[in-house]
């Protein structure tokens, strides 16, 4: 708890729910832990970094109980469709949606369509390193994602949004600064 109170600790997370086959933690236990984490984070007035895999409806219901609507939230590593994120965006007007290099994959058409519909001022860029190497980077050159590769994601956001790269980069920088009070 002492570390969370430090001024350099700018957010709380990532935390959330994971109903994917890879997660072996029972759902009731996930709910209990997530609720306690939300209460702690809100009491510390730290922005939330939210992880969610295949649990979007439950996530929203739990967050509505424990998080004020105007709270700052980073929905981490979003790869889903717009109908999945829309209820969260409507209920939490200060939520930002994080996109990774998954956007560069040909299979990520749903995420690109969601990106197209989410206002630029509610988008942030992230890597989720070491996962999600950008499509343009050969594995023979680099095996793992890292922050230095985020520009590939920024380029894809600019392309999908039909915006100049410089404007997109400036907006994403401002969004991140606003979300984390940097």
For residue 54, the model assigns a pLDDT of: 95
Q: Is residue 23 part of a domain?
A: no
The predicted structure's pLDDT at residue 137: 87
30, 78, 139 from 113: Cα distances, Å: 30, 12, 27
Residue 29 maps to a domain: no
Q: How far apart, in whole angstroms, are the C-alpha atoms of residue 55 and residue 58?
A: 6
**Which residue range forms the structural domain that includes residue 136?**
100-182
pLDDT on residue 3:
85
In the numeric block, the tokens 């409806």 are attached to: 57
Is the residue at 22 inside a domain? no
Rounded Cα distance between 79 and 98, Å, is 9
Query: What pLDDT, on the 0 to 100 scale, is given for residue 49?
Result: 98
38 in a structural domain:
no
> Do the Cβ atoms of 97 and 176 come closer than 8 Å?
no
Question: In the chain, how many domains are there?
Answer: 1
Mean pLDDT of 9-15: 94
Nearest to 99 by CA among 89, 107, 108: 108
Q: What is the pTM of this model?
A: 0.94
Q: Span 145-158, mean pLDDT? A: 94
In this prediction, residue 167 carries a pLDDT of: 98
Buried b (16+ CB within 10 A) or exposed e, 170-179: ebbeebbeeb
Residue 2: pLDDT band (50, 70, 90) is: confident
- The span from the CA of 20 to the CA of 53, in Å, is 6
% pLDDT > 70, the chain: 100
State the average pLDDT over residues 2-31.
92
Spatial CA neighbour of 168 closest among 91, 99, 113, 66: 99
Answer whether residue 152 shows pLDDT above 80: yes
In a domain, 138, yes or no: yes
């Amino acid at each position: 708890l002492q570390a969370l109170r430090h001024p350099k600790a700018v957010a709380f997370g990532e935390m959330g729910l994971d109903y994917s086959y890879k997660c072996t933690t029972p759902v009731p236990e996930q709910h209990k832990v997530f609720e306690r984490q939300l209460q702690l984070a809100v009491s510390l007035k730290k922005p939330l970094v939210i992880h969610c895999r295949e649990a979007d409806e439950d996530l929203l219901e739990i967050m509505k109980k424990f998080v004020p609507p105007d709270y700052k939230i980073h929905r981490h590593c979003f790869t889903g469709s717009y109908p999945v994120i829309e209820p969260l965006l409507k209920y939490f007007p200060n939520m930002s949606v994080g996109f990774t290099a998954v956007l560069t994959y040909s299979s990520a058409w749903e995420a690109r369509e969601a990106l197209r519909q989410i206002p630029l001022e509610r988008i942030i860029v992230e890597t989720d390193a070491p996962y999600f190497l950008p499509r343009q980077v050969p594995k023979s050159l680099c095996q793992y994602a890292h922050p230095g590769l985020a520009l590939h994601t920024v380029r894809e956001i600019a392309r999908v949004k039909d915006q100049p790269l410089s404007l997109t980069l400036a907006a994403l920088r401002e969004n991140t600064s606003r979300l984390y009070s940097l």
